[in-house]
Every structure is written in C-alpha cells, then in structure tokens.
C-alpha cells in the first residue's frame, strides 16, 4: 500500500482550511503489527481514538481511503480478540479423562477385555491395601478380633520429622482423591454415547467413586504405616510400598497402552482415550460466572482446597499422636498400670554402712532415718519391697509421668488402692528405665551403692532392653546388688483387669485377667476383679474356701484368728494374701477388747509372720480396738519401715498358690531369726492347726 500523507485541517474562521503540522508517520510494518497485536489494549485504544478524531474532521477523498483502512484494521483487531477468547473458553470448558484404569472402566463395553482388565487391577489394589491394613491393626494376643493401632509409646526426634515429611509426600503423590472430586466440576456429555455406547452417566459416577475409594484407602493405609513407624528406613520402605500399590492403576494403564496385555482391544481403548474430553458443568458455570481466566483460577482453587484440607486433617491427626498421646504420656495409660511384683529375698547391708560412713560425701542421702534403721542392725531385704506397683501419672493430663528417661515409672503402693507413696514418710521402691544401663532398674530413694554412683543407683537391674513398659520385661536373668552383683529373678504379674469375654460364649463367661474366676469391675473400681464366690486375691488367684477361715495355735495359750475384711466379702490383702486377726470380736460392734492380746497372721516379705498389733493400732474412746484402726495399719503397712516387729516367723515360702494351712513348714521366734543362723527346727517350731469354713477342696 502506498503511503498517504494526511494532514488534519482546522477552520480558522475565514471559511478556508489550513493544514496542521504533519503528524508522525506510521509505516506499513507498524500498521501490520497493530492489526495482529490483539492483546495490546493500548494499541486498540489508540486506533479507536484516532478513528474518532478522523470522523469529526473534514477530509479529502484520499483521506477517506485512509479512514477505510483504519476501520478495517480495527475490525480485524476485534475479530482476532474474539477468536482468542472463544479458544480460551473452549479449552477451559474441556476436561480430558485421566489416564488410568478408572477411565478405561468408564469407556469400556460391559464384558469386554478392557472392562475386566480395569476391574481386576482395581480389585488387586483394594485387596492388597485391605490385607496390609488388617495386618497392621490386628491386635496381638488372645483376642485378635479387636483392632489395635499399635502406636509406639515414644519415638526419636528423627523418626517424628520423617513421619511429618512422609505425610506431606503421601498427599502430594496421591492424586486420585482430588481427581475424583472433579466430577462436581464436569458435565456428563451424552454425545459420548455415539462413540462409546456403554459410557453412561452411571458408569461416569461409579468410575469416579471407585477412584475416590482407592485413593482414600491408600491414604489411610499410608497413615497407619506412618504412625506405627519406629525407624526412619523402615518407615520409607513401607511407605514406598504403599504408594506403589496406590499407583497400580496408572501403571496398569501404561502397560496396556504399550500393548503388553496381549489384547489389541485394550491397547486401542487406551489410545482412543487421549482424544476423549468432557465439558464443564453448567451448574458450576451458574455458580462461578462466565468461563474466563478468573473462573479457571477458581477451579484451580477448588482443587487446591480439597488437597490442603486432606493434608491438614492428616497433619492434625499426626500432631495428636505425637504431641498428645506420646509426649503427654497418654498412650501409656492403655498399657498395664498395676503390677504385683515379688522381689528376691537377697539382702544389702546399706543401713550398717550408713552408720559407719556418716559423711554425705561418701554416701548420697544418709538421712537420720537410715541411721536409726542401721542402729537396729537390719539390712535391706529386697523381699520387703514386694507388693503392688502402680504407674505414676500426671495430675493434670492423666498421662504417664515421663520424667525418668522418657518412659513411665512405677511406685510401690500400699494394700489400700487409694494410698500412694507420696503419702508416706518413708521411701518406697521404684521401677524405672535407666538409659545409662539400657535396662529397667529397681531403686530405693536415698539408697545407693556409693556416693559417686552413676548407674542410676540400681539395686536390681533387668537384662538390657528397649522395652517401653514393664509389660514386656523378662523375669529371669536380673542382676541384684548385695555388696556384689549376683544373679536373681523377679516375678512380675499385671493386675489390670481387661474385659476379654466372648459374646455369650459359656466357656468364656469370665475374664482372663481374673483367671476366669471373676469379672472386670466397672465404674469407680474399673480395672479390678470382682471374684466369684470362693475365690479371692487381686486376680482371683486364691481359693478362699480352702484358705483359713478359722486358725488356732496352741503354745501356752490357745488363740483363734478370723479373716480381716475391708468390706463385705472383700478381704484385706497384703502381698496378695489374706490377713487374719485374733478373734476377740465382741458381738456385732466390730471391736476387739483391749484386755486380750491383739495379734495378726499375714504374709510379710517372703514368709508368714505373727505380729503384735497392740502398740501400733489406735484405740477407741472406750479403750477397745476398732476395725477402722486395724485397717488403717494395714493400709499403710510397709515391711521395711515398721517400727514394731513380728514375734514369730515361718520358713521362706514364695509359692503364690500357697495356703496358710500348708503343712510341714516350721516356725521360730523373730529374735532368733535376726541374730542366729535362722535354722528352723521342730524344737522351736510353732504348731498351727487350721479349719476350713466349709468342707471344700480347691479346684487346682
């Protein structure tokens, strides 16, 4: 096109036109640029402004040609912009099917090779994931029908960091859930039935539901693997395996697309899927507005919202596990909290050493109470610390106290269930974990093997172990300190009653935690055993009908003993054995008269004893001994710290099934027991006779 010089004219008031200064010339190349620069709003505005100016001026014939040229260029600009916008809308409205077996299921005819191929792959995925989930959640022990998440009680910091990282990765790579939820953005297009007659609306919804189910199940299984992990390498090995199974639908599509299935129809379908598109949902159009770039951003926002909601839920669950169940010690409360622990009869002469070495530089807490005990010449007998040990818990959260090397510790409690070591004025035994020894240890506050002891001051020590609680501790091969290291054993029995009854099965009508002779109590006494008639003990392990109801001994004076009950049919127990008190009860007042000796027959340390209670039991206003005062004595009883001592001692007997009337055991007085060689002979034995309340025999 020839260049035409156009000079706008203006009316100077004389009726003639005068030319204005020549404007800048725009060559043909620049005009062409304007016509194709459809996205340049500035150029378009400039053309429109120029055209408006030309329309308001007087022009020559040549100038009319220029006007036509500008109008044509502007029209081309608007047409090109409309085409581009239409193309953008068209592209945004299209939805390409996912390249996986779920899209194959949607398009494949019923009964075809592609249909069965997609269903088999889906079934394999679900079966593997379910089997893995069952294996991870199956409870250990007798009742495998219950689920157990097996969350570790604690984890090292590097494992915790890896768990959070694995969660994020799991959501990023598990796209099936987000992809399936796009069904709410996509309109089912019935025209697809012309090419794929079986691609119905029902199959469209079902295919997305299957994709969603597989994706959610994969995330759940991955979550279980992650929270149960205790090792970084094992965590990512298991996690990678789960992700591979979750991705089998995509792998199966790739195999089919490459023709490895051997069925041409399957390969042909995977190739034709690449050209299949669906339309944007019209209902979604109404909500979101016209199809523009803004709507595309909203669509992406929808997908991202779904993604981050899933991620947030998993992270909150992980934080609950790590910072509440683990760090707060809550998870330990699902373990056994109460144990009956019988310690060996070995002794350690710590008290005597305390008298000889009064310097605090040489002995760590050589208090006046230790010195006073040492003056009596009594060594520590570890069996005196046998009894019930309870997990120490936090007051506020109720979780386990993890102040000892990140694991719970267990303190000795009295026979009374509501009496704790904090209420005692004398130290009690403690079982706790010691990192320095990589083992569980038994300690007594203030007692050590030396002033510079750096081994947790253990008096008994388990074999090396990583056990988190006492549930998993061995009973053999313990070390015991007697001034030298000896071998010994510790008897550990969980006292928590777990409801293990089968539903309506007669042979499982009782709980195994109560030796199938009782049931777990509920309410205030939850976790304790309610024993059947004829049985007693913390775990209903003793036959009360065969234990002594009345006991007599004849040594210058005949005395009779009766069982001491805390409440009706609930006997007082010391070391899981019944207590008997001399029978001087008057009428129904539950009082014992003061003009006769008050004595008790019970299990002390590792043997039975006869103990005078007159100086340790408070009297009532009328001078008699009340039941409450006798119970108070046994509630706070600790063999190691009692100021009084027994007057008769029997031979050692550690048999937990033993009854008091067992024949053949000999007795001696306590003074001889302390100062002599502790040889029990018939000459100084104490004869006992017993009577069962009813003529019954024990079933064991």
Least confident of 195-199, 428-432, 692-696: 692-696
Segment 55-80 shows an average pLDDT of 55
Mean local confidence (pLDDT), 106-125: 95
Residue 520 maps to a domain: no
Do 259 and 113 share a domain, yes or no? yes
Count the Cβ atoms, other than its own, within 10 Å of residue 14.
7
- How many CB atoms sit inside 10 A of residue 190's CB? 10
**Contact indicator for 611, 644 with CB cutoff of 8 Å:** yes
Confidence of residue 686 (pLDDT cuts 50, 70, 90): low
Q: Is the pLDDT score of 252 beyond 90?
A: yes
Mean pLDDT along residues 284-299: 55
Mean pLDDT to the nearest integer, 476-484: 89
Does residue 605 sit within a domain?
Answer: yes
Res 481 pLDDT > 80: yes
| The predicted structure's pLDDT at residue 241 | 92
Residue 590: phi and psi, rounded to 5, are 60, 30
Domain final residue pick, 297, 326, 355: 326
Q: Do 316 and 346 sit in the same domain of this protein?
A: no
pLDDT at 498 over 90: no
Q: Helix or strand or coil: residue 471?
A: helix
Residue 559's pLDDT band, with cuts at 50, 70 and 90, is: low
84 pLDDT higher than 80 = no
User: How buried is residue 202: exposed, middle or buried, by Cβ count under 10 Å (0-12/13-18/19+)?
Assistant: exposed
Whole-number Cα distances in Å, 26 to 7, 22, 23: 13, 12, 9
pLDDT at 189 over 60: yes
Helix (H) or strand (E) holding 517: none
Count of domains for the chain: 4
| Mean pLDDT within 253-266 | 91
592: number of Cβ within 10 Å? 25
Mean pLDDT of all residues in 377-389: 79
Helices (H), 497-618: none
Let me know if residue 521 belongs to a domain: no
> Is there a domain that residue 519 lies in?
no
DSSP E strands, 474-617: 478-481, 485-488, 491-494, 518-520, 529-531, 535-536, 542-543, 550-555, 557-563, 565-567, 570-571, 573-574, 577-578, 580-582, 591-592, 599-604, 607-612
pLDDT bracket for residue 283 (50, 70, 90):
very low
Residue 332 lies in a domain: no
pLDDT band with cut points at 50, 70 and 90 for residue 505: very low
Quick: pLDDT tens for 15-29.
444 444 444 444 444
* This prediction's pTM: 0.64
Give the pLDDT mean for 332-357.
73
| pLDDT tens digits, one per residue of 37-52 | 444 444 445 444 444 4
Does residue 217 register a pLDDT over 90? yes
Which residues face 389 on adjacent strands?
339, 412
pLDDT at 31: 42
Whether 532 has a pLDDT exceeding 60, the answer reads yes
The answer to whether position 499 is within a domain reads no
Res 107: pLDDT:
94
Residues 211-234 have a mean pLDDT of 90
Q: What is the pLDDT of residue 160?
A: 87
Q: Which of 26, 60, 93 delimits the end of a domain?
A: 93
pLDDT at residue 472 tops 50 = yes
pLDDT at 336: 83
71/118 same-domain check: no
Statement to judge: residues 453 and 375 lie in one domain: yes
Mean pLDDT across the stretch 191-199? Answer: 90
Best CA proximity match to 548, nearest among 564, 532, 533: 564
pLDDT confidence tier of residue 567, bands split at 50, 70 and 90: confident
- Percentage of the residues of the chain whose pLDDT score is greater than 90: 15
pLDDT at 350: 67
> Is 660 or 606 the better-scoring residue by pLDDT?
606
Check whether residue 318 and residue 447 sit in a common domain.
Answer: no
Arithmetic mean of pLDDT, 262-268: 90
- Of 33-42, 196-205, 241-250, 396-405, the range with the lowest mean pLDDT is 33-42
Average pLDDT, the chain: 71
Short-list 571, 497, 531, 569, CA closest to 340: 497
For 632-669, the pLDDT digits (tens) are 888 777 777 776 778 777 776 654 434 444 444 566 77
44 and 121 both lie in a single domain: no
**Structure confidence at residue 556 (pLDDT):** 53
185 and 74, same domain (yes or no): no
**Looking at 69, 93, 117, which one is the last position of a domain?**
93
My answer on whether 58 and 147 are in the same domain is no
- What confidence category does residue 552 fall into, taking pLDDT thresholds of 50, 70 and 90? low
Task: HSE, CB side, 13 Å, CA atoms: give it for residue 71.
Answer: 10
| In-domain check, residue 502 | no
Q: Do 359 and 218 share a structural domain?
A: no
Let me know whether 54 and 137 are in one domain: no
275/412 same-domain check: no
271: pLDDT strictly greater than 70: yes
Residue 525: predicted pLDDT? 61
What ranges in 190-343 are assigned the alpha helix state H? 201-228, 232-246, 248-257, 264-272, 282-288, 293-319
Higher pLDDT, 696 or 671: 671
Q: Do 300 and 391 share a domain, yes or no?
A: no
Q: Range of 635's domain?
A: 536-691
Residue 573's pLDDT is 79
CB 281, CB 187: distance < 8 Å: yes
Confidence of residue 352 (pLDDT cuts 50, 70, 90): low
Rounded Cα–Cα distance for residues 422 and 297 (Å): 64
Q: Does residue 281 sit within a domain?
A: yes
Say what the pLDDT of residue 690 is. Answer: 55
């Amino acid at each position: 096109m020839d260049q035409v010089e156009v000079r706008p004219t203006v009316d100077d008031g004389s009726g003639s036109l005068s030319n204005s200064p020549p404007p800048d010339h725009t060559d043909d190349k620049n005009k062409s640029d304007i016509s194709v620069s459809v996205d340049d709003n500035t150029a378009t505005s400039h053309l429109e402004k120029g055209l408006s100016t030309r329309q308001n001026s007087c022009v020559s014939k040549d100038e009319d040609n220029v006007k036509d040229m500008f109008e044509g260029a502007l029209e081309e600009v608007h047409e090109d912009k409309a085409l581009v916008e239409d193309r953008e809308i068209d592209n945004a409205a299209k939805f390409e099917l996912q390249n996986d077996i779920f899209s194959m299921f949607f398009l494949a005819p019923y009964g075809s090779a592609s249909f069965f191929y997609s269903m088999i792959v889906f079934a394999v995925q679900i079966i593997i994931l379910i089997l893995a989930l069952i294996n991870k959640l199956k409870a250990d022990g007798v009742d495998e029908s219950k689920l157990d998440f097996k969350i570790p009680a604690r984890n090292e910091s590097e494992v915790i960091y890896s768990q959070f990282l694995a969660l994020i990765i799991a959501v990023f790579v598990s796209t099936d859930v987000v992809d399936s939820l796009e069904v709410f953005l996509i309109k089912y297009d019935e025209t697809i039935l012309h090419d794929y007659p079986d691609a119905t609306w029902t199959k469209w919804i079902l295919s997305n539901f299957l994709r969603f189910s597989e994706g959610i199940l994969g995330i759940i299984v991955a979550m279980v693997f992650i929270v149960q992990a205790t090792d970084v390498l094992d965590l990512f090995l298991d996690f990678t395996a789960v992700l591979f199974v979750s991705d089998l639908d995509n792998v199966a599509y790739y195999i089919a697309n490459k023709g490895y299935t051997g069925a041409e129809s399957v390969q042909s379908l995977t190739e034709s899927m690449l050209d299949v598109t669906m339309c944007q949902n019209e209902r979604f159009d109404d909500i979101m507005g016209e199809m523009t770039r803004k709507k595309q951003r909203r669509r992406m926002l929808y997908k991202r919202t779904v993604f981050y909601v899933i991620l947030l839920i998993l992270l909150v669950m992980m934080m609950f596990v790590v910072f509440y169940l683990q760090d707060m010690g809550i998870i330990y409360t699902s373990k056994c909290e109460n144990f009956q622990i019988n310690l060996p009869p070995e002794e350690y002469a710590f008290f005597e050493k305390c008298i000889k070495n009064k310097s605090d530089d040489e002995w760590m807490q050589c208090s006046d109470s230790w010195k006073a005990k040492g003056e009596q010449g009594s060594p520590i007998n570890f069996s005196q610390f046998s009894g019930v040990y309870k997990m120490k818990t936090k007051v506020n959260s109720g979780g386990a106290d993890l102040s000892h090397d990140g694991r719970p510790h267990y303190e000795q409690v009295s026979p009374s269930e509501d009496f704790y070591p904090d209420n005692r004025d004398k130290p009690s035994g403690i079982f706790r974990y010691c990192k320095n020894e990589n083992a569980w240890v038994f300690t007594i506050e203030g007692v050590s093997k030396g002033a510079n002891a750096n081994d947790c001051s253990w008096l008994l020590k388990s074999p090396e172990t990583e056990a988190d609680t006492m549930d998993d501790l061995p009973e053999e091969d313990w070390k015991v300190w007697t001034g030298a290291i000896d071998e010994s054993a510790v008897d550990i029995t969980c006292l928590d009653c777990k409801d293990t009854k089968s539903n309506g099965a007669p042979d499982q009508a009782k709980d195994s935690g109560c030796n199938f002779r009782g049931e777990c109590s509920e309410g205030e006494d939850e976790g304790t055993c309610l024993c059947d008639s004829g049985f007693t003990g913390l775990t209903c392990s003793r036959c009360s009908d065969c234990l002594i109801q009345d006991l007599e001994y004849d040594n210058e004076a005949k005395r009779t003993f009766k069982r001491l009950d805390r409440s009706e049919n609930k006997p007082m127990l010391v070391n899981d054995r019944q207590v008997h008190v001399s029978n001087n009860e008057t009428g129904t007042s539950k009082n014992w008269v003061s003009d006769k000796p008050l004595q008790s027959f019970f299990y002390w340390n590792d043997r039975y004893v006869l103990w005078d209670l007159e100086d340790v039991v408070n009297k009532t206003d009328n001078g008699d001994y009340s039941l409450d005062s006798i119970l108070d004595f046994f509630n706070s009883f600790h063999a190691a710290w009692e100021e009084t001592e027994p007057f008769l001692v029997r031979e050692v007997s550690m048999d937990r099934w033993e009854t008091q009337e067992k024949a053949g055991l000999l007795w001696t007085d306590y003074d001889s027991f302390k100062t002599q060689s502790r040889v029990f002979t018939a000459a100084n034995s104490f004869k006992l006779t017993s009577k069962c309340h009813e003529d019954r025999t024990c079933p064991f």
